């Protein structure tokens, strides 16, 4: 069975493969494996809309396969749930992870945000070979640290401390994320749905 992941984010793809490569019946590909692929602009106003845009853009070329598109981001309560869908571009259209993190910490300092409550949210859209649309959602609650800590992961991982932990995701590492992250939760729901279908 082929599963195509509609993402150009190497960090996300690596997280998916850590889990999915353990399933022998599943062949995992990404949009990078398509010879000529131009991603559509993510101009949706919600995580769901952007996840759907990603999935449909790959599905147009891989109609007989399962295609998974997802959109995820960080929502900081004290910032009105920003950066939200703008998480990857918070500091600008081509911002690096470090620039986005720096802006986040600066905004929280300027506004004196306390408590520093936040959550990662992931919405996943899977388009099936029968043209069904499955939607899954995962949330990981936590807080934003006052400084960058840890070298693993990507995005806002160096400043996000999951609920019940004292270390950031960048310190806790990939083993923790593939068990408990927002993305892992949505992926687990998808795999459960596949099992129900006998796949």
* Phi and psi at residue 6, to the nearest 5°: -85, 75
DSSP 5-67: E----HHHHHHHHHHHTT-TT-EEEEGGGSSS--PPP---SSHHHHHHHHHHHHHTT-TTSEE
* Cis status, amide bond into 57, omega within 30 of 0: no
CB–CB of 22/45 below 8 Å? no
Q: How far apart are CA 172 and CA 164, in angstroms?
A: 12
Cα within 13 Å of Cα(131), Cβ side: 2
Cα within 13 Å of Cα(14), Cβ side: 10
Q: How far apart are CA 174 and CA 50, in angstroms?
A: 25
CA distances from 182 to 45, 147, 177, 189 (A): 20, 22, 8, 11
Q: Among the options 33, 43, 71, 97, which is catalytic?
A: 71
130 included as an active-site residue = no
Centre a 10 Å sphere on the Cβ of residue 127 and count the other Cβ atoms it contains: 23
List, by residue number, the catalytic residues.
71
């Amino acid at each position: 069975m082929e599963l195509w992941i509609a993402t150009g984010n190497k960090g996300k793809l690596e997280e998916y493969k850590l889990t999915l490569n353990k399933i022998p019946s599943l062949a995992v590909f990404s949009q990078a494996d398509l010879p000529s692929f131009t991603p559509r602009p993510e101009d949706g106003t919600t995580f769901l809309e952007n996840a759907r845009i990603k999935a449909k853009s790959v599905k147009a070329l891989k109609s007989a396969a399962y295609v998974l598109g997802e959109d995820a981001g960080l929502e900081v309560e004290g910032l009105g749930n920003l950066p939200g869908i703008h998480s990857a571009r918070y500091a600008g259209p081509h911002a690096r992870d470090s620039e986005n993190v720096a802006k986040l910490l600066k905004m929280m300092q300027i506004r004196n945000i306390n408590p520093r409550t936040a959550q990662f949210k992931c919405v996943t859209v899977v388009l099936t070979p029968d043209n069904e649309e499955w939607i899954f959602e995962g949330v990981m609650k936590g807080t934003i640290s006052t400084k960058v800590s840890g070298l693993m992961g990507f995005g806002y991982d160096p400043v996000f401390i999951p609920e019940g932990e004292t270390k950031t995701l960048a310190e806790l590492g990939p083993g923790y994320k593939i068990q408990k992250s927002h993305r892992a939760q949505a992926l687990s729901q998808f795999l459960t749905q596949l099992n129900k279908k006998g796949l």
